[in-house]
């Protein structure tokens, strides 16, 4: 065999080096040759690891992304992150693969005569700006709108709010977090006057009992659930799953308690009844720190266009509240909820036991609820009555679904009534924002316009002509989808969609902008525990893809707002964040400076004197407390949290003769929301290739349906055919079915109901009535 001279030469060279080294090693034991050693080290273990918050859910795990040759090739959990402590879930570990789907959008597309034509970014942005100008001129400023997302980074949401609310002067700014977090927000505001949890994930390390309210944590917040399981292993804590369906969480829990849909309202009241009856009320806490309110009842369900509702809070006293609760004895509630009086007393006993620290956790089960604000209030009632709040381990904790639902939508305030600090209705809040935004205060409209469902209804009616949709996929996620899909296709509507892959939403777009996602750009997310996390740009965006922030900045400049959008392209994220921080100055909401976020795995606001605040409203931890007591609920003018009198009211659509089943929708562990990213990750798609309808095994047997058989679901809004799933991932109770919503080929939202909570305006995806047939 031919051996080249160079090979021979290099062989001799290596031999010489080796013998020299051997000689050296014998003479000087322990000597090392750095270069030689490094050269021989394998590449695989030596990637460049850079920190970022995970792209997917609201837990906000810290991940380390391995980059090689300008490509993201690996992910591991960040052991330094206090959120996940090094662990991820299957979505997180494979998250970087979602960047590399073959059909990534890399060029802007403009619809011409029904066909999409490639164009340059400059032309596309010109077209958007000119379309906005003419729409505003012909139809007024309230004819343009932006629909964003809880997956927006903080700078994305900030520039969107500044452009639309500050410069253009319309409150047509909404985000998909209206569909997932609005009830949590109104729950916090009505009970405490300030949004977002008082506690943090560290509560998990202190609590003795965990009660999960309609929250399949094992699949939806798996990393936090593993922290619960870890605590059970080490400290023997109790996990109680209170849900409508048997899931992995129920299997893992120490006790699974099943209730009938909507009756959580009654059970929560029954727990309060038991607490008062048994004398478990923390009297001094309630006297010092709580007041009692009642609001309007029979609010309706928002099913009709232009539905309006405003709650009228009214002060009551403890005796009136006690009398009200007499309708909710465990025995009476057992009849409507299907939860035995024994189980209600069992849960009440844990809440009432002064030596047990209790953490309540919930997410969509309580938020996507036509009485979502109420059920949030009611769980706070339990914690307030027993004084189990704002201390390590005693924590009512509202989990979020999206990576920056808190950071962007709730804190930056990309909802129609919100400003980065405060609400549009208040003059001082408008003045504060206008000053920082450098706009005349009259620019900011004091009247909120449309919440999400109503915004799409306005698009249908023609009140809105232009909509820009970023980082979300409403043509899969809107309830009663068909109406809103048809609305988008109507003549005279102009829809811009910024996304990374073709989706059902890009299908209805007039202009599609390719976006740079996650680590292809710089940004920040804010997670459920008030933690703001920064990520740097690690790789180049695909093709001409541009960050959502810069897309908006470019359009703003074209609309003539160069003065307000003065940011330089190289440093705009830093400039925007620093400007945004000014809105939140003060002890109640100060945000950590960017330099801090760059060096550590996030910081929790209020960030005061170089310190994160772990437990708000507790004077031991929260520097904003100023009343000299142990607790100070400074969100309310009187410094007191509110215990609300909220009754049980039935759902708008309950199973009847024609539609005898409850239909519940939700997620699965493998897929993130509508699957536009996770379905392009081979591991995840292969594990969960399509949607299905879960049936109760006994009823499936009666109907002679087996796993894989086609089943037709019919509601008053339409019908859909899905494969059956019997005794697999989840088991619904009798009279209920469950369908995951990620599959764009089987759009379950075509048949869901667009009823919403009158206070939060968040739709209820968990309850409507449906007919089930084998086909």
Partner 1 sequence: MKRLGIISLFVILFMAFIAVWNISYQSGMEEAYIPVENTNPISLIPSETGVFTRSKYALDYVNMPVDEQHQRVLKNYYKNRAFHGAPPSIPHPVEDERNMGDNSCLKCHQNGGFVNKYDAYAPVTPHPEMINCRQCHVPEHTKQLFKETNFYKADPPEVGVNNALQGSPPVIPHQIQMHENCLACHAGPSAPKEIRVSHPERVNCRQCHASNNKETEDIGIFKRTNNNEQ
- Looking only at residues 255 through 314 of this chain, which bind partner 1 when binding is defined by CB under 8 A? 282-284
Tokens of 101: 């789907």
Cβ proximity of 697 and 731 under 8 Å: yes
Tokens of 488: 């988008």
- Measured from the CB atom, is 35 or 656 closer to partner 1? 35
Q: For 14, phi and psi rounded to 5 degrees? A: -65, -40
- Is 262 known to sit in a ligand binding site? yes
Per-residue string for binding with partner 1, 5-44, x by CB under 8 A?
-------------x--xx--x------xx--xx--xxxxx
- Is 550 known to sit in a ligand binding site? no
- Is 290 known to sit in a ligand binding site? no
- Going by DSSP bridges, is the β-strand pair 358-362/209-213 parallel, antiparallel, or unpaired? parallel
Which of 5, 138, 234, 658 binds partner 1 (CB under 8 A)? It is 234
Catalytic site residue from 181, 272, 546, 746? 181
**Smallest separation, CB 624 to partner 1 (Å):** 23
**Smallest separation, CB 297 to partner 1 (Å):** 34
- Is 766 known to sit in a ligand binding site? yes
Q: Is 577 in the site for partner 1 (CB under 8 A)?
A: no
If you ran DSSP here, which 8-state letter would residue 659 be given?
S
Q: For 556, phi and psi rounded to 5 degrees? A: -60, -40
Q: For 720, phi and psi rounded to 5 degrees? A: -155, 145
Segment 209 to 228, residues that bind partner 1, using CB under 8 A: 218, 222-223, 225-227
Cβ proximity of 697 and 726 under 8 Å: yes
- Going by DSSP bridges, is the β-strand pair 710-715/661-666 parallel, antiparallel, or unpaired? unpaired
Segment 321 to 360, residues that bind partner 1, using CB under 8 A: 354-355, 357
**C-alpha span between 648 and 51 (Å, rounded):** 46
Q: Is 408 in the site for partner 1 (CB under 8 A)?
A: no
- Measured from the CB atom, is 139 or 232 closer to partner 1? 232
**Smallest separation, CB 80 to partner 1 (Å):** 9
Q: Is 595 in the site for partner 1 (CB under 8 A)?
A: no
CB within 8 Å of 725: residues ≥ 6 apart: 692, 693, 694, 695, 707
What residues form DSSP beta bridges with 665? 739
Q: Which stretch binds partner 1 (CB under 8 A): 247-255, 308-316, 456-464, 589-597?
A: 247-255
Per-residue string for binding with partner 1, 621-660, x by CB under 8 A?
----------------------------------------
**C-alpha span between 499 and 504 (Å, rounded):** 11
Which of 133, 139, 206, 482 binds partner 1 (CB under 8 A)? It is 206
Segment 712 to 771, residues that bind partner 1, using CB under 8 A: 728-731
First to last CA, the chain: 69
- Is 668 known to sit in a ligand binding site? yes
Q: Burial level of 763, CB count in 10 A (0-12/13-18/19+)?
A: buried
Which of 8, 71, 490, 734 binds partner 1 (CB under 8 A)? It is 71
- Is 662 known to sit in a ligand binding site? no
Q: Is 55 in the site for partner 1 (CB under 8 A)?
A: no
Which of 66, 396, 514, 541 binds partner 1 (CB under 8 A)? It is 66
> Helix 481-489 vs helix 452-461: angle between axes, to the nearest 10 degrees?
50
- Helix (H) / strand (E) element for 507: namely helix 504-507
**C-alpha span between 445 and 455 (Å, rounded):** 17
27 belongs to the catalytic site: no
What residues form DSSP beta bridges with 608? 611
**Smallest separation, CB 673 to partner 1 (Å):** 15
Which of 423, 687, 714, 723 binds partner 1 (CB under 8 A)? It is 687
347 belongs to the catalytic site: no
364 belongs to the catalytic site: yes
CA 653 to chain centre: 26
- Measured from the CB atom, is 206 or 277 closer to partner 1? 206
Residues in contact with partner 1, total (CB under 8 A)?
Answer: 92
- Measured from the CB atom, is 67 or 316 closer to partner 1? 67
Cβ proximity of 397 and 367 under 8 Å: no
CA 400 to chain centre: 4
Closest CA to 267 of 184, 201, 356, 340: 340
Which of 59, 61, 87, 695 binds partner 1 (CB under 8 A)? It is 87
**C-alpha span between 341 and 339 (Å, rounded):** 6
- Is 667 known to sit in a ligand binding site? yes
- Measured from the CB atom, is 44 or 660 closer to partner 1? 44
Catalytic site residue from 198, 359, 364, 677? 364
Which of 10, 16, 20, 100 binds partner 1 (CB under 8 A)? It is 100
Collapsing DSSP to helix, strand or coil, 239 comes out as strand
- Measured from the CB atom, is 256 or 532 closer to partner 1? 256
**Smallest separation, CB 33 to partner 1 (Å):** 8
- Is 91 known to sit in a ligand binding site? yes
Q: Is 520 in the site for partner 1 (CB under 8 A)?
A: no
Cβ proximity of 301 and 756 under 8 Å: yes
Q: Is 74 in the site for partner 1 (CB under 8 A)?
A: yes
- Is 548 known to sit in a ligand binding site? yes
564 belongs to the catalytic site: no
- Measured from the CB atom, is 388 or 432 closer to partner 1? 388
Catalytic site residue from 97, 121, 180, 363? 180
Q: For 72, phi and psi rounded to 5 degrees? A: -80, 120
User: Which segments within 376-472 are labelled E, that is strand?
Assistant: 395-398, 466-470
Tokens of 349: 């006993």
Q: Using alpha carbons only, how large is the chain's radius of gyration in Å? A: 27
Cβ proximity of 573 and 155 under 8 Å: yes
Starting at the edge strand that comes first in sequence, how are the strands of the sheet with 238-243 ordered? Answer: 255-258, 238-243, 209-213, 358-362, 395-398
**Smallest separation, CB 487 to partner 1 (Å):** 28
- Is 762 known to sit in a ligand binding site? no
- Is 394 known to sit in a ligand binding site? no
**Smallest separation, CB 740 to partner 1 (Å):** 13
Per-residue string for binding with partner 1, 103-142, x by CB under 8 A?
xx--------------------------------------
Catalytic site residue from 51, 91, 165, 588? 91
Tokens of 187: 């729950």
Which of 126, 205, 327, 649 binds partner 1 (CB under 8 A)? It is 205
402 belongs to the catalytic site: yes
- Measured from the CB atom, is 285 or 484 closer to partner 1? 285
CA distances from 160 to 413, 423, 551 (A): 10, 16, 10
The C-alpha angle with vertex 207 and arms to 204 and 208, in degrees rounded to 5, equals 130
**C-alpha span between 202 and 210 (Å, rounded):** 13
- Measured from the CB atom, is 114 or 279 closer to partner 1? 279
302: left (phi over 0), alpha (psi -120 to 50) or beta: left
Q: Is 688 in the site for partner 1 (CB under 8 A)?
A: yes
- Is 671 known to sit in a ligand binding site? yes
Within 290-363, residue ranges assigned H as helices are 318-325, 330-337, 341-352
CB within 8 Å of 28: residues ≥ 6 apart: none
91 belongs to the catalytic site: yes
Q: Which stretch binds partner 1 (CB under 8 A): 111-119, 124-132, 161-169, 678-686?
A: 678-686
- Is 180 known to sit in a ligand binding site? yes
- Measured from the CB atom, is 598 or 774 closer to partner 1? 598
Catalytic site residue from 214, 372, 402, 546? 402
Task: Write out the catalytic residue numbers.
Answer: 91, 180-181, 364, 401-402
Feature table: binding site for substrate = 741
Q: Which residues are annotated as a binding site?
A: 54, 57, 61, 89, 91, 151, 176, 180, 262-264, 364, 368, 473, 498-499, 548, 665-674, 741, 749, 766
Q: Which residues are annotated as a binding site for [4Fe-4S] cluster?
A: 54, 57, 61, 89
């Amino acid at each position: 065999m031919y051996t080249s001279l160079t090979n021979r030469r290099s062989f001799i060279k290596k031999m010489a080096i080796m013998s020299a080294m051997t000689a050296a090693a014998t003479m000087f034991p322990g000597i090392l040759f750095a270069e030689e050693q490094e050269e021989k080290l394998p590449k695989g273990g030596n990637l460049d690891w850079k920190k970022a918050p995970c792209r997917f859910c609201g837990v906000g795990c810290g991940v380390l992304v391995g980059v090689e040759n300008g490509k993201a090739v690996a992910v591991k959990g960040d052991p330094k992150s206090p959120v996940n402590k090094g662990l991820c879930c299957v979505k997180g570990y494979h998250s970087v693969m979602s960047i590399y789907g073959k059909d990534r959008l890399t060029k802007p597309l403009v619809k011409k005569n029904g066909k999409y034509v490639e164009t340059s970014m400059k032309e596309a942005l010109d077209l958007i700006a000119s379309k906005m100008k003419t729409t505003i001129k012909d139809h007024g400023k309230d004819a343009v709108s932006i629909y964003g997302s809880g997956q927006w980074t903080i700078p994305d949401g900030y520039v969107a709010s500044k452009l639309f609310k500050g410069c253009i002067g319309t409150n047509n700014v909404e985000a998909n977090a209206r569909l997932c977090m609005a009830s949590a927000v109104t729950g916090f505001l009505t009970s405490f006057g300030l949004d977002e949890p008082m506690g943090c994930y560290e509560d998990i390390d202190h609590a003795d009992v965990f009660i999960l309210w309609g929250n399949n944590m094992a699949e939806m917040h798996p990393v936090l659930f593993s922290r619960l399981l870890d605590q059970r292993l080490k400290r023997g804590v109790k996990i109680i799953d209170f849900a409508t369906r048997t899931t992995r969480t129920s299997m893992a829990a120490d006790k699974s308690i099943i209730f009938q849909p909507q009756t959580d309202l009654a059970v929560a009241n029954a727990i309060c009844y038991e607490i008062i009856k048994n004398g478990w009320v923390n009297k001094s806490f309630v006297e010092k720190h709580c007041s009692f309110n009642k609001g309007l009842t029979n609010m309706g369900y928002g099913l009709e266009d232009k539905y309006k509702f405003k709650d009228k809070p009214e002060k009551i006293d403890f005796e009136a509240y006690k009398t009200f609760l007499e309708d909710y004895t465990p025995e009476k509630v057992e009849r409507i909820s299907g939860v035995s009086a024994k189980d209600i007393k069992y849960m009440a006993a844990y809440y009432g036991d002064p030596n047990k620290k209790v953490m309540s956790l919930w997410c969509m089960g309580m938020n996507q609820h036509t009485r979502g604000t109420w059920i949030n209030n009611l769980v706070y009632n339990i914690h307030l009555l027993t004084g189990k709040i704002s201390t390590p381990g005693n924590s009512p904790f509202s989990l979020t679904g999206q990576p920056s639902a808190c950071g962007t939508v709730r804190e930056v305030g990309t909802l129609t009534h919100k400003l980065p600090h405060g609400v549009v209705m208040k003059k001082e809040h408008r003045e504060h924002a206008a000053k920082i935004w450098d706009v005349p205060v009259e620019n900011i409209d004091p009247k909120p316009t449309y919440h999400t469902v109503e915004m799409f209804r306005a698009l249908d009616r023609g009140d809105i002509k232009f909509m820009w949709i970023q980082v979300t996929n409403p043509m899969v996620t809107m309830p009663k989808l068909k109406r809103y899909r048809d609305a988008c296709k109507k003549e005279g509507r102009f829809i811009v969609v910024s996304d990374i892959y073709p989706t059902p939403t890009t299908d209805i777009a007039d202009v599609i902008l390719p976006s740079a996602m996650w680590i292809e750009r710089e940004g920040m997310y804010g997670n459920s525990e008030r933690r703001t996390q920064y990520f740097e740009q690690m790789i180049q965006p695909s093709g001409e893809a541009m960050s959502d922030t810069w897309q908006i900045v470019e359009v703003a400049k074209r609309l003539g707002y160069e003065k307000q959008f003065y940011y330089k392209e190289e440093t705009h994220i830093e400039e925007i964040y620093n400007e945004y921080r000014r809105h939140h100055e003060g002890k109640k909401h100060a945000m950590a400076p960017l330099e801090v976020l760059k060096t550590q795995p996030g910081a929790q606001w209020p960030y005061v004197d170089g310190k994160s605040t772990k437990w708000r409203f507790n004077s031991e931890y929260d520097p904003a407390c100023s009343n000299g007591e142990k607790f100070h609920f400074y969100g309310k003018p009187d410094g007191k949290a509110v215990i609300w009198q909220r009754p049980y009211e039935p759902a708008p659509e309950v199973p009847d003769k024609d539609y005898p089943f409850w239909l519940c929708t939700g997620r699965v562990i493998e897929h993130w929301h509508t699957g536009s990213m996770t379905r392009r990750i081979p591991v995840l798609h292969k594990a969960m290739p399509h949607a299905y309808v879960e049936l109760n095994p006994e009823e499936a047997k009666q109907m002679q349906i087996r796993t894989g058989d086609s089943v037709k679901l019919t509601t008053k809004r339409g019908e859909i055919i899905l494969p059956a799933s019997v005794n697999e991932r989840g088991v619904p109770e009798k009279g209920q079915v469950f369908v995951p919503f990620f599959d764009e080929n089987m759009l379950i939202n075509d048949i869901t109901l667009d009823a919403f909570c009158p206070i939060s305006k968040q739709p209820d995806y968990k309850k409507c009535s449906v007919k089930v047939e084998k086909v």
